[in-house]
Chains A and B, each alone.
Chain A
């Protein structure tokens, strides 16, 4: 009776002591699962993808030839495929730019002016859409942007139907209705990815001590100069982080282009159809490498521009 309760804690104590005295072992045990996940599932699959892109599809048999070749990349660089890449990249760039322009003032307000209450409310407002299904939201937008949808109706009430029609007649961004145009697709992309831009920008702005802004104005800088010389450079890592999200998410998305828009191909949709319908896994893999390369170049440039100097 007297010995029994004391052996139980002793065993735990021994285990605790065992690990306390071997911090390296504890670290290894704790880090092994995430590292395995990261190494095998993330990087492993990415690597498999990269290898696939150097195989090719035999046109006659429809089978993948598992030999090293650059033929698939040659195919990737044909006119039609380059169009898809340019279309996707320019959409991603415009969406990122628009998200940045919309997110910065809001992030600035949340970080520097909002009271704790307002801040909480705005956070909720920014995050709330992310709690609902992405598909539901995209299909809702299809209805909102449709010819008989609320946007057309509202513009008609304002007597601005003419403006919408003129815009839809424009080449490239136009189409039969907003829900079948690049313009409409652009709106939906900006809508779904905006929170991913607001949050990092807000976090970066939040980290700028007030005294830096005071120091700048103390040294003679007007508010605009302070913004250009202090706020913007220090918030830049946040802008880059946000743009990585919006840019890469737009590059890879295949649902919005297939639901909204004029059914011209985007990278995501091309990958889907190449690996599914036509079974051309190597070309699908090569297409997937494109966003990775673009993001790599983007990050490299951002680094060269000093985006991460203040980190």
Chain B
């Protein structure tokens, strides 16, 4: 299942999973996962809920212990070691800020436990508040902050300990779209500034694509594919990855044979397909299929067409509204068309 991606691994990986499984009774939450997360990279674990990504994160943090296999942090075996003996910190999904402490006390918590002198603690809290752009907020209570501000405090509280690995458990899930997009950019910038390995759990494929150096796509407790965002998007290894990351048309059997000459399943991204007039001439190296536009969904920036192919299956097509208006695109409904795309955009799917 696991695709090994060629990366120069001269240093020891920040995190190494070797055949790790975690069972909860009958449920195999994590099922024989092996992966290396490199030092300093922004690594996302992407998958639907219940796919095992959060359990993997909790295994790294030490909140769960693996049923089988071993986990190494910077070359050191950690399975069996409690969270407080691991050089990792976590940003929790619900932020988990201590309600009885001020923002400053929350951020300084790790330093207080390590008995760092008060003066230095305060200095570093101020630095952290600068980093997450909440200067002067240290006296506030968590309950007085907005969701986005709490998020930043949770980040500061984890980063102040200068961990070698930072774990983020769907930290942007509770924020509204605009704020989420802004935080995605900020998180990436902070990661580049501090140079710490970030391991980011999300079910939002766009979020993973935006921020990550590499992504591991999880399904049913296993990793389906590991790769850079472009590799994952453009060369999905399995039908699941093709369907989960972005939208994909999967074409199989007779319909596939009519287009490529082979009945093997292949995927084609909707935005790679052009809608042309019926009967138009096709260039060399292009694929085509004829059909009728059954539905048109105008989405502002682009338009989604659903085309019923003459060979039977449906294809989704996305076109940018560069020059067309909503009137133009909606008038296309019911029209016969020829769909054309470049052959190299076809992705053969293994199973």
Chain A residues in the interface with B (C-beta under 8 A): 209, 211-212, 214-222, 225, 229-230, 233-234, 306, 309-310
Q: Are A310 and B109 in contact (CB under 8 A)?
A: no
Instruction: Determine whether B157 belongs to the interface, using a CB cutoff of 8 Å to chain A.
Output: yes
| Surface stretch bound by A, among B21-29, B81-89, B277-285 | B81-89
Instruction: Determine whether B98 belongs to the interface, using a CB cutoff of 8 Å to chain A.
Output: yes
Q: What 5 new A-B contacts, CB under 8 Å, besides A214-B83, A214-B90, A214-B96? A: A212-B98, A218-B88, A219-B110, A219-B113, A220-B114
A112 to chain B, nearest CB (A): 15
Q: How many residues of B contact A (CB 8 A)?
A: 24
Given contacts A217-B84, A219-B161, A234-B100, contact A209 B114 (CB under 8 A): no
Bound-state CA distance A234–B100 (Å) is: 7
Contact of A215 among B88, B96, B100, B114 (CB under 8 A): B96
Instruction: Determine whether B213 belongs to the interface, using a CB cutoff of 8 Å to chain A.
Output: no
B165 to chain A, nearest CB (A): 12
Q: Which residues of A contact B96 (CB under 8 A)?
A: 209, 211-212, 214-215
Contact of A233 among B92, B100, B157, B158 (CB under 8 A): B100
Q: Are A209 and B94 in contact (CB under 8 A)?
A: yes
Bound-state CA distance A217–B100 (Å) is: 17
Q: Are B99 and A215 in contact (CB under 8 A)?
A: no
Q: Are B110 and A220 in contact (CB under 8 A)?
A: yes
Q: Which residues of B contact A306 (CB under 8 A)?
A: 100
Instruction: Determine whether B61 belongs to the interface, using a CB cutoff of 8 Å to chain A.
Output: yes
Q: Are B84 and A220 in contact (CB under 8 A)?
A: yes
Interface string of B239-262 (1 = CB under 8 A from A): 000000000000000000000000
Contact of B98 among A218, A220, A225, A230 (CB under 8 A): A230
Q: Are B161 and A220 in contact (CB under 8 A)?
A: yes
Given contacts A211-B94, A215-B90, contact A309 B100 (CB under 8 A): yes
A61 to chain B, nearest CB (A): 58
Contact of B90 among A218, A229, A233 (CB under 8 A): A218
Q: Are B89 and A219 in contact (CB under 8 A)?
A: yes
Q: Are A221 and B84 in contact (CB under 8 A)?
A: yes
Q: Which residues of B contact A233 (CB under 8 A)?
A: 100
A-B contact pairs, 6 of them (CB 8 A): A214-B92, A216-B109, A219-B161, A229-B109, A234-B100, A309-B100
B61 to chain A, nearest CB (A): 6
Please name the 7 residue pairs, one residue from A and one from B, whose CB atoms are nearest each other, closest first.
A211-B96, A219-B110, A215-B96, A310-B100, A217-B83, A220-B113, A218-B90
Q: Are A219 and B157 in contact (CB under 8 A)?
A: yes
B105-128 at interface with A (beta carbon < 8 Å): 109-110, 112-114
A142 to chain B, nearest CB (A): 44
Bound-state CA distance A306–B93 (Å) is: 28
Name the CB-closest residue of B to A310.
Answer: B100
Chain B residues in the interface with A (C-beta under 8 A): 61-63, 82-84, 88-90, 92-94, 96, 98-100, 109-110, 112-114, 157-158, 161
Q: Which residues of B contact A222 (CB under 8 A)?
A: 84
Given contacts A209-B94, A211-B92, contact A217 B99 (CB under 8 A): no
Bound-state CA distance A310–B105 (Å) is: 14
Q: Are B100 and A219 in contact (CB under 8 A)?
A: no
Q: Are B100 and A218 in contact (CB under 8 A)?
A: no
A234 to chain B, nearest CB (A): 6
Q: Which residues of A contact B98 (CB under 8 A)?
A: 212, 215-216, 230, 234
B35 to chain A, nearest CB (A): 21
Bound-state CA distance A111–B98 (Å) is: 19
Residue of B89, B110, B113, B114 with most chain A CB atoms under a 10 A cut-off? B113
Q: Are A214 and B63 in contact (CB under 8 A)?
A: yes
A216 to chain B, nearest CB (A): 7
Q: Which residues of A contact B92 (CB under 8 A)?
A: 211, 214-215
Q: Which residues of A contact B89 (CB under 8 A)?
A: 218-219
Q: Which residues of A contact B82 (CB under 8 A)?
A: 217
Q: Are A218 and B83 in contact (CB under 8 A)?
A: yes
Q: Which residues of B contact A221 (CB under 8 A)?
A: 84, 109, 113
Q: Which residues of A contact B83 (CB under 8 A)?
A: 214, 217-218
Name the CB-closest residue of A to B58.
Answer: A214
Bound-state CA distance A220–B92 (Å) is: 15
Name the CB-closest residue of B to A217.
Answer: B83
Bound-state CA distance A229–B88 (Å) is: 20
Bound-state CA distance A35–B151 (Å) is: 43
A96 to chain B, nearest CB (A): 22
Bound-state CA distance A161–B99 (Å) is: 51
Q: Are B100 and A225 in contact (CB under 8 A)?
A: no
Q: Which residues of A contact B88 (CB under 8 A)?
A: 218
Bound-state CA distance A226–B98 (Å) is: 11
Residue of B84, B89, B161 with most chain A CB atoms under a 10 A cut-off? B84
Bound-state CA distance A219–B167 (Å) is: 12
Bound-state CA distance A225–B98 (Å) is: 14
Q: Which residues of A contact B112 (CB under 8 A)?
A: 229
Bound-state CA distance A222–B84 (Å) is: 6
Q: Are A218 and B99 in contact (CB under 8 A)?
A: no
Q: Which residues of B contact A211 (CB under 8 A)?
A: 92-94, 96
Q: Are A234 and B161 in contact (CB under 8 A)?
A: no
Q: Which residues of B contact A218 (CB under 8 A)?
A: 61-63, 83-84, 88-90, 158
Residue of A212, A215, A219, A310 with most chain B CB atoms under a 10 A cut-off? A219
Q: Which residues of A contact B110 (CB under 8 A)?
A: 219-220
Bound-state CA distance A220–B158 (Å) is: 11
Q: Which residues of B contact A212 (CB under 8 A)?
A: 96, 98
Q: Which residues of B contact A230 (CB under 8 A)?
A: 98
Q: Which residues of A contact B63 (CB under 8 A)?
A: 214, 218
Bound-state CA distance A93–B99 (Å) is: 29
Bound-state CA distance A217–B84 (Å) is: 5
Q: Which residues of B contact A214 (CB under 8 A)?
A: 61, 63, 83, 90, 92, 96
